[in-house]
Amino acid sequence: MTEPEPATSASETSRKKSWAHGVAMRGLVALPLVAGLATAGWLLAGGNDPAPVDGRQPVPLPAAKQDPATVGGGAGPSVLEVSAPVKAQETPKGARPLEEWANKLAGPLDIPAKSLMGYANGELALRGEQPNCHLSWVTLAGIGAASSNHGRGGENPLGLSAQQWKKHGASIPGIAKPALTDPDSASVAAGRALCASGADLGGGNGWWKAIAGYQGGKGNEAELFRQRVLGNAQLYATLSLDPARSASPAVKATRFALGQLGLPYVWGGNGPEAGAAGFDCSGLTKASYDEAGVALPRTADSQFRALPQVSGEPKLGDLVFYGNPSTRIHHVGLYLGNGLMINAPTQGQAIQIHTYHSKGDDYTGAGRPAA
* Span between the terminal Cα atoms of the chain, in Å: 27
The better pLDDT of the pair 117, 42 is held by 117
| Residue 120 zone, left/alpha/beta (φ > 0; ψ -120 to 50; rest) | alpha
For 103-133, the pLDDT digits (tens) are 999 999 999 999 999 999 999 999 999 999 9
Calculate the average pLDDT of the chain: 81
**Contact by Cβ (8 Å): 109, 246:** yes
For 17-28, the pLDDT digits (tens) are 333 333 333 333
Where helices occur in the chain by DSSP H, the ranges are 10-13, 95-109, 113-129, 137-148, 162-168, 183-195, 204-215, 219-241, 249-258, 281-291, 300-306
The better pLDDT of the pair 205, 32 is held by 205
**Position 14 confidence tier, pLDDT thresholds 50, 70, 90:** very low
Amino acid occupying residue 232: N
According to DSSP, the β-strands at 352-355 and 340-343 are antiparallel
Portion of the chain with pLDDT greater than 90, in percent: 64
**Number of helical (H) and strand (E) elements in the chain, helices listed first:** 11, 5
For 193-242, the pLDDT digits (tens) are 999 989 899 888 889 889 989 988 777 888 899 999 999 999 999 999 99
Identify the pLDDT of residue 95: 81
For 265-324, the pLDDT digits (tens) are 999 999 999 999 999 999 999 999 999 999 999 999 999 999 999 998 999 999 999 999
